[in-house]
Chains A and B, each alone.
Chain A
Amino acid sequence: MTVIYNTNSTHNPNSYLTLAVMDAARQVFGDDDVVLADNRTLAPLAAAGRHDVLLCLDGQRLHEGLLRRVRHAFPTMVLWLFEDPFMLDYNLRNAALFDFVLTNDPGCTADYGAKGHYMPLAASRRFHHRDIKPDADLDYDIFFAGTMWPNRVRSLRRILTAFPDARLKLVCPTNEYLPPLPGDLARLAIPWPVSHSSFIDFANASRVTLTMFREYASHGDIGQATAPGPRLFELACSGTAQVVECGDAMQPGRFEALRGIELVRSSEDLVRSVRRLLHDPLLRASQAIAAQDCVLASQLYAHRLQAVRGITGGHYGVRTTPAPPAAATRRLRVLMCTHSTIHSNEWGGVEVYQQTVAAMLERDADILFWLRRDGQCQLVDGAGLVLERFDMHVIGWLDSLTDAAEEAAFSDVLGQYDVDLVHFQHLGHHAASLPIIAKACGVGTVFSAHDFFLVCSRYTLLNHEQVFCDIGHKSISACDICLRAAEGLPAGAQQTRRAFMVEVIASIDMFLFGTPSSEWLMLQVYPALARHRRLVLGIPMPRGTATDMKRHHAVAPDGRLVIAVVGNFLRSKGADMVMSLIEEANPALFRFHLLGAPEAQYGEVLARLDRPNVTCHGRYAPGDTGLLAQADVALHLSIWPETYCISLSEIWQAGLIPVVSDIGALGDRVQHGVNGFKVRVGDASAVLDTLELLRASPALRRTVRGAIGPHLWTDAGEYAARLLDTYRSVTATRPLGDARLGLDAGQLHLLPHATWKSLAPPRHIFDPSRRSGVRLELPASIQDWSHVQGSEVYIDSVCGIAPAMLAQGRFQPATELLVSGWSFVPDLGFDGQVQLALVGETAVIFCPASRDVRDDIMASFPAAPRRSGFTARITLRGKWCEGRYLVAIINSFGARAAFCLTGLSVTVQDGRIVDAAQRAPSNETVTRAFYLVAAQTGEEPGLVLPQVPVAASAWHGGQGLRHHIDRISGQPGGQISGQPSTGPDLDAQADPTGFTVDGWAFTPGAGLAGRLYVVLVDPEQGIQIVLPAPRELRGDLPAYFPDAPLCGGFRVRASLRAGDGWRDGRFECVLVNSVDGFAALQVTGWRVEISEGRILDATLAEPDVARIDRVFAVLSGRWRPAAPAPAIPIMLAAPVIEIRRAVVRKLLPRPDPAPGGRRRAAVP
């Protein structure tokens, strides 16, 4: 038989893989030959010895202790890894535990040596198969779902631009270790995961599904797998056409087993493949069918498991006769979990019993004790010597359900002390979960029901009126009433406790009862107990109990009846009634001997009692019953249903006649008028009457004594033998290894609940925000820059250290970047908003800062606003953000912002800020940082957009731009300037597939630079090639144009080989400036000719009105194929015509005179 166990025991969104493998295993190995294990059941299954193969899945969160524990119980242990190569280091550390390591990544096979084998994941017919839909029934054109590794972001953005009109379904969750999604993607995608069934359904409902493999190292250097993951097979099974983009590490051979997929290596090929499938429904259908057929034929988990069986050669069949218990040939080691031992100051029947068992089994078993008292858990040996101490907090006597500290310590002891079984005597003082923990450790569990702890914390079942509650005949409502009255607990507390005890009971192998009544009562409350092994064994007397009482019970010379009251003198044992009897009984007729320790309140009363017919002997040693010889009769007037009552055995053995309450074990054991007498609970008069009857009737006493014999008490020898058999029957069949287990209830998939007296832990109705303030793009509201290094900025502290102190090496690594200081824009008069910009070599990270009141700054700078302070807090996790960053402060107000690079730099590594330094930046550094920041508009430089990203309502006709083209690719004699670059610096002269255009442009009167686009429009074909034009500083412009923005320049660098938007044609070069939701445009007059993917020519040619009109039609989405019709179609509505005429007039080429020519102004 096979045990399947997923090591990734919690927070595992891929748990369905276990279900899929399990489903396949049932098909391959047979329903009865497979069992699914978890942390709670693995060790017990191993101990049961019916399974030869353990197949561990995933490898993440592998519980080394637990697997060490079960290692020797499974002849074959297989680890099927799902996360190689990304977790290779971790997996290698665990590989030694296994006989075979199956890795999902073929590149890792060799790392595991001879035991390593490649085993890809697969698909499941049950979870992944869907009928392929006809084209007309499909809901989406393109579907992608997956964690947004950076490579996926790049590829998806290509898809967005290539298929602007496609019906997309994008599910793009990220996590705190990944960069935030760019705005264009975030606007379209669902940012959280969908269910796995919906993932398959969406694929099934889509023409094309994208599969993109991870190219990202969360830690270490390995960023790519060398073989596909399960998605490839799952999607193939789902009935979709799949385009797979994979990195260089993945060899084509890894896909040979699967037909019907399109394998691509670049974004360009990805776009081409998708386009082909979208345009050809027949191709799409045939690909989907081929892939699905192929998966069903050879790429299901059932196929994998057949291969696993072939590789491992383990015994996968059923083993009906388990081997004999492993512990049969050696001394048992028994841990008794109890509230105290006989070495404590206070003890009673339980402690006596423990001592008795220890003595009886001293040749066969080592007995240890697990105690919790006085802020410690202790492991104690049979002699009372403390072997281990664990500091603990106080959890109360009867309150606790789970307690991770004790659970972990307890499981460590079980795993390291070779314990075979735990015999639970009592759970008072302990976490009630210990039986669950013990079972999960694989040891046997025996529970002696010395009282009714499992039924109620009032374990004697005395209710709020100190009367037996008779819960076996009542509903739990009685508990609500009792607990509220007695302890002020709300209704539901007992239900909470019971619900947990059901789990406790489920973990116990064997229950031992004293007499049938306690077993019956437990079965009434917990019917599930009927499925557990149970024994009614009684309780043996301790050694030392006189075994041969030869005394003749003649009536005392004075004619008085001598009465013994044996056992601890407690209220629950009828102390009140005994006191009443002492009061009422005629001292001339009855004499009382009290043997046993009295409860405090009775001790005081008894000490003051001046009764010649009463003798208090106090506590007596277990088995020391010599005093009983003086008595004729014994009283056992308990008011609770005792579960056995050792002292009844003792007095019987001493030849005394018992008078007992007719309740519990006393009622079970005493046969009225035969071997003793029973009275109703609390009926003192009946006791007195019975005592008088016995005093008056020597013949009756003789008769009753004659009926007393060994059949009435538990035979110690027989008990020892049966208990030993019981112990051996619950111990592990196969040996379990020594291991530090550290298990707690949470690890065993139980919801920890500290105390049953607290009904429901607080659960909030709101979930925390998932959106991080971290962005990779400038706020869309920023359309222009007012200052570069012109604002006031001062940093007070970075991660709690003043920048001036950084040079002294005082910086301590921090888990988050905390920067505070003050900043304002001179002459602005108000505070504005502050963003922290971390400027790295390649990435810029933005984080919003909160504003603080800084009266001190106002005092020093009269122009400073009141809230000039700022605090920015940012957590940076993941490889993507590792590196050194310069810290800049962006102070924005309205659509403008001021940029200021500070001297501060920080270094991020392993999710922490590991270093910070302060050094004044050079002008060059400032300029470069500014360009990097300003370029983060969310648009990828050089990537062709499908259209100008403005709303249809933005085309208000525009008012024309002031502009100049300094140079453009294809322009005769053009040279590339040496200005700082914001994109690929392509040499258009050397590379005709490169496209460059530099110049300046702005909307007159707008006062803002806005977003600029260079658009190549072929009005004959209706084609537009839209290129974002990153802004550049042009400090020379304001000298000529008072309304010119600081960043009036622009510069475009693009490659005709990148992306999918380039076409051949004769294009008008148009500038479009988007400011505040308005789009103004300018036909530059430059005409660019592209042929066969190369720039052939760029010439100045003034277009006519009709051509300009068609240019505008293309831009505004109203273009129709050219026809012999008027330049302005008459079918258009009049208002539109009016607008368009106005636009046409403004779109005529109108180069501004200055700053003219090709003269380039210096960067301010």
Chain B
Amino acid sequence: MKALICSGGRYESEANAQIRRCIMDGWIECLGHDNVMSANISGAAAVIAATAPDLVIGIGSYLPESTYFGEVSREARRLGKTTLFWATEDPYEQDASYRILHDFDAIFSCDRWGVNFYTHPHAWHLPLAGCHKRHYVPIDAESRKPIDVLFCGVAFTSRLEIVDDLRTTLAGLNLCFIGPGWGKLGHGFSDRRIGNEQLIELYGQTRIVLNLGRSLHFENRRHMITPSSPGPRTFEAALAGTVQFFHEDTYEIRRYFTAAEVPAFSNQAEFGRLLEKHLGDAEHALCTAELAQRRALSEHTYAHRAHHVIEMLKTNGLA
């Protein structure tokens, strides 16, 4: 089976580009290097015409008005190939989902609750994952971890509110908050943007990684869908072998990790207890990280997701 991954519209964010590369790696792991190609959406139709892949996979955001999959779909269908889209930005832009309804045989949504709102006859949930090649780091119990608490991501309102609530508990710790919007909070907070590779390196120097949800919705007014699935950082951090505390505004985390693997908190008191337990007990922290990494390696890489896609398509007679 050959697969072509199409993405890279002009408004693709670096975060999405990173996920696209990881998805690509997952499919390569699944199908082999020679059977997977990636093409920019602008010329993907020509690539399809020339290479006739069995699966044409659109991924990423469907929100930019210029993201037009009509040509890709046209060429794939002309050749009788299967088209699918993996919406990796759901449900934050779900009002725009009508733009992909006609062009794909199947739609996979990264959000388990949001997928219910698709009217497409073949819409399924497919959570994001981690990349074995890019995110897995063997755990080194002896490594120095100068950062007590790390968070990397945009300072959305929800995240600012959570951190504001945790400030007294975080006082005195060596903090590293990186991403647009954090700088105003002072020492330990920075507006920098860093690459995914740098982030994985930072994970290795960190005792606790915060996993905080997102409150910014671009176009999600119609159904006001509250996201349910954890973001990709959950799986990435687990693969990187770090302890992460998950802010539990969704119970779906437990579909992927147990509380022993990824502990969760809902408020300052619970966070304080987790912090005490993990900062004060290196053995316990190591055990948590190892359990999470083991789980991610065995169930939550993009290769697992690729296998799942193929299975779903076959089960439903689409491949």
Which chain A residues have a beta carbon within 8 Å of chain B's beta carbons?
A: 9-13, 15-16, 19, 36, 127, 139, 169-171, 187-198, 201-202, 205, 475-477, 480, 490-493, 495-496, 498-500, 502-503, 506, 526-528, 749-751, 753, 756, 759-761, 763, 765-771
Contacts and interface: CB of A to CB of B under 8 A. Distances in A.
Contacts of A761: 65
A16 B9 CA distance: 32
B42 to A, nearest CB: 6
Contacts of A169: 248, 266
B232 interface: no
A61 to B, nearest CB: 11
Contacts of A492: 9-10, 64, 66
Nearest to A18: B223
B216 A491 contact: no
A171 B247 CA distance: 13
A12 B99 CA distance: 21
Contacts of B174: none
Interface in B114-143: 116-117, 119
B44 to A, nearest CB: 9
Contacts of A13: 223-224, 226
Contacts of A201: 251-252, 254
A974 to B, nearest CB: 40
Given A759-B64, A765-B154, A192 B102 contact: no
Contact of B112 (A10, A197, A475, A767): A197
B57 interface: no
A195 B219 contact: no
Nearest to B44: A475
B66 A170 contact: no
Contact of B227 (A195, A490, A768): A195
A194 B249 contact: yes
Interface stretch (B69-77, B293-301, B306-314): B69-77
Instruction: Please indicate which of the listed interface residues A202, A759, A767 has the most CB atoms of chain B within 10 Å of its own CB.
Output: A767
A191 B223 CA distance: 19
B113 A528 contact: no
A475 to B, nearest CB: 5
Contacts of B157: 766-770
Contact of A475 (B43, B67, B266): B43
B215 interface: yes
For chain B, give the interface size range.
35 or more
Nearest to A186: B165
Given A750-B98, A765-B154, A766-B181, A197 B228 contact: yes
A759 B11 contact: yes
In the complex, the 8 A-B pairs of residues with the closest C-beta atoms, listed nearest first? A492-B66, A495-B68, A201-B251, A195-B228, A15-B223, A767-B216, A195-B113, A195-B226
Interface of B: 9-11, 42-43, 45-46, 63-68, 70-71, 73-74, 77-78, 95-96, 98-99, 102, 112-113, 116-117, 119, 154-158, 160-161, 165, 180-181, 215-219, 221-228, 248-252, 254, 259, 266-269
Contacts of B154: 765-766
Contacts of A12: 222-224
Contacts of B217: 767
B269 A188 contact: yes
A759 B225 contact: no
B249 A190 contact: yes
Contacts of A189: 266-267
A767 B64 contact: no
Instruction: Please indicate which of the listed interface residues A493, A759, A769 has the most CB atoms of chain B within 10 Å of its own CB.
Output: A759
B71 A475 contact: yes
A770 B160 CA distance: 10
Contacts of B96: 751
A188 B224 contact: no
A749 B97 CA distance: 10
Contacts of A36: 119
Contacts of A527: 73-74, 77-78
A749 B216 CA distance: 20
Contacts of A196: 113, 226
28 contacts: A10-B222, A13-B223, A139-B259, A171-B249, A192-B226, A194-B226, A194-B249, A195-B113, A195-B226, A195-B227, A198-B226, A198-B228, A476-B42, A491-B42, A492-B66, A495-B67, A496-B65, A498-B68, A499-B65, A499-B66, A499-B70, A502-B102, A503-B98, A527-B74, A528-B102, A753-B65, A760-B11, A765-B180
Contact of B66 (A9, A15, A759): A759
B221 A11 contact: yes
B252 A766 contact: no
Contacts of A197: 112-113, 228, 252
Contacts of B259: 139
